[in-house]
A and B are shown apart, each in its own frame.
Chain A
Amino acid sequence: MLEIKNLYKTFNAGTINEKQALKNINLTLNNGDFVSVIGGNGAGKSTLLNAIAGSFKIDEGSIFLDGTDVTNMLEHERAKFLGRVFQDPMRGTAGNMQIEENLALANRRGQKRTLKWQLKQEERNFFKEQLRQLNLGLEDRLETKVGLLSGGQRQALTLLMATMKKPQLLLLDEHTAALDPKTAKIVLDLTVNLVEKNQLTTFMVTHNMKDALRYGNRLIMMNEGEIILDVSGEDKKKLTVNDLLDLFNQTGELNDSMILG
């Protein structure tokens, strides 16, 4: 599904701020994998996710999505393979546009946009049906501007927009970190729900070790731009918070929020 070979990325190369954010990343995700990714601040998790999404040019290596070499594809060209949810609930939706307009944009991900009038009744009905599974009552507020929704509602909507067209790969970057614990739980449950229902291959960065252990069939830990742990299946089930803390201690990357989470 996803194949990354010898990926390198350095920011601000040749300047005093030079930062090697990814070092020789090799990673293959299988169809249906649900990977939780953890690591300290600045470990390179977001950078890896952005590299996959095509937010910047990588220095070396190659990236394949669904068998297609996307290394040189631009961000909007790769969008047809990807569903994305960001940490900041504001980033995944257009706040000045209505709920149905946002959904209509998402429903055309990867398609050529034309001069057809965007919204028709049958599509509205489809959106209502989709919104109903969020259990937030949004199905009755199709014409509400997204900017009026709470952070949790916006994140749930973004999640729906990211999954509605069944992406080959779902990229989640600490998408519950900005929410209060109760809302975070709702959004996370919804995530698992949508992933299972659509059988999506998922790459979920999280700051919460317990969540990383609880969800997904595979766990990856990153440190200083490298993948330092990659366990799946039974091995992952045996893993405990203490194991992860030990690893963190070894790398000297202990982070309070990660223990408490």
Chain B
Amino acid sequence: MSIVFALNIGSLFRSFPGNIAQGMIWGIMALGLYISYKLLNFSDLTVDGSLSTGACVTVMLIIAGVPALPAVLIAFLAGCLAGCVTGILHTVLKIAPILSGILTQIALYSINLHILGNKANQALNINEYSLLLSLRNVNMAILVILAFAVVLIGILYWFFGTEIGSSIRATGNNEQMASAQGINTNHTKVIALSLSNGIVALSGGLLAQYQGYADVGLGRGAIVIGLAAIIIGSVLFENIHKKDLNFAVALSSAVVGGILYYIAIGIVLWLKLPTNDMKLFTAILVAIFLSVPHLSFKKGKGVTNARD
């Protein structure tokens, strides 16, 4: 009995590196989502589509002979374009945020099929192409993803401290104030949504290489996983830190949140809970974490809203 238990624990620990790698990729996705959800205060459903777009673009470019790094950077630009479309739908055509995102997401489904040459998925064999990362070498993959995460957090920390970055934060925080200070809030929204979806697409490009294929359905439910990462990270860090997080720390918390989320998934799998219920589990988890700040507020403790 105890031997069986020990074996099981061993298999759980063996699953950790893979979960960490996956979790970090989703953590990078969460960095993109952080921009729309936390900074711009815009629930952007484009991400479900732009994550797949990033994966599809990356895979097709690599197959076409483009080196992996430029391929991922072009995927970033494709994601920017998707975010830009959502931004224009919202700011120029005055369509509500959620609906703008859904429209782009739906449109991207067809576009992603086209990118994959009218197929639903496309394999990317590590033996044929030179990739940045792969689950064949998980430890190496973790290092590569870590490098991406560190560089991205650095860039975002710098960008949101610039005049344009501050205008974006002001727009998300108080649009009327931003206008009164002469900020063109249409521009700031489009910039933020573009950047956000660019990063999401980049994470899609990493994910496709890691798992060795792109799939049009890859991003389904991505927003919920990204939210889970953001919320788990922020609840954890704020409880440890007890005061306002430095922006770079807040961003890092999203990546850590992604890792924790995937470790939780690993535990669920290890417990042999039905994997069909995974999305249900995720939704319940996110709902609980989203409500935690409000529940503790009622008891007169925490005062921060999940969005603040």
Contact = CB atoms under 8 A, between A and B. Distances in A.
> Chain B: interface secondary structure?
helix
B169 A97 contact: yes
Contacts of B159: 115
A91 B182 contact: no
Contacts of A111: 182
A51 B164 CA distance: 27
Contacts of A118: 161-163, 165-166
Interface string B147-170: 000000000001101111111011
B296 interface: no
Interface residues of B, number: 25
Interface stretch (B172-180, B198-206, B266-274, B287-295): B172-180
> Chain A: interface secondary structure?
loop
A75 B183 CA distance: 9
A124 interface: no
Contact of B173 (A75, A79, A96, A161): A96
Given A91-B177, A105-B170, A113 B161 contact: no
Interface string A70-104: 00001111011010101000111111110001001
Given A95-B173, A97-B170, A79 B180 contact: yes
Interface in B209-255: 244
Contacts of A97: 166, 169-170, 173
Residue among B159, B166, B174, B177 with the most chain A CB within 10 A? Answer: B177
B163 A84 contact: no
B185 A113 contact: no
Interface residues of A, number: 36
A223 to B, nearest CB: 27
Contacts of B127: none
B277 interface: no
B162 to A, nearest CB: 5
B166 A76 contact: no
A16 B173 CA distance: 34
B163 A94 contact: no
B130 interface: no
A135 B170 CA distance: 26
Nearest to B163: A113
A106 interface: yes
Contacts of A76: 178-179, 182-185
A126 interface: no
A214 to B, nearest CB: 27
A114 B163 CA distance: 6
Contacts of B244: 145
A108 B182 CA distance: 8
A151 interface: no
Given A80-B182, A96-B173, 19 more contacts: A74-B184, A76-B183, A79-B180, A79-B181, A84-B180, A91-B177, A93-B174, A94-B173, A94-B177, A101-B166, A105-B166, A105-B177, A105-B178, A109-B181, A109-B182, A114-B163, A115-B164, A116-B163, A117-B158
Interface of B: 158-159, 161-167, 169-170, 173-174, 176-185, 244, 308
Interface of A: 53, 74-77, 79-80, 82, 84, 86, 90-97, 101, 104-106, 108-111, 113-119, 145, 147, 161
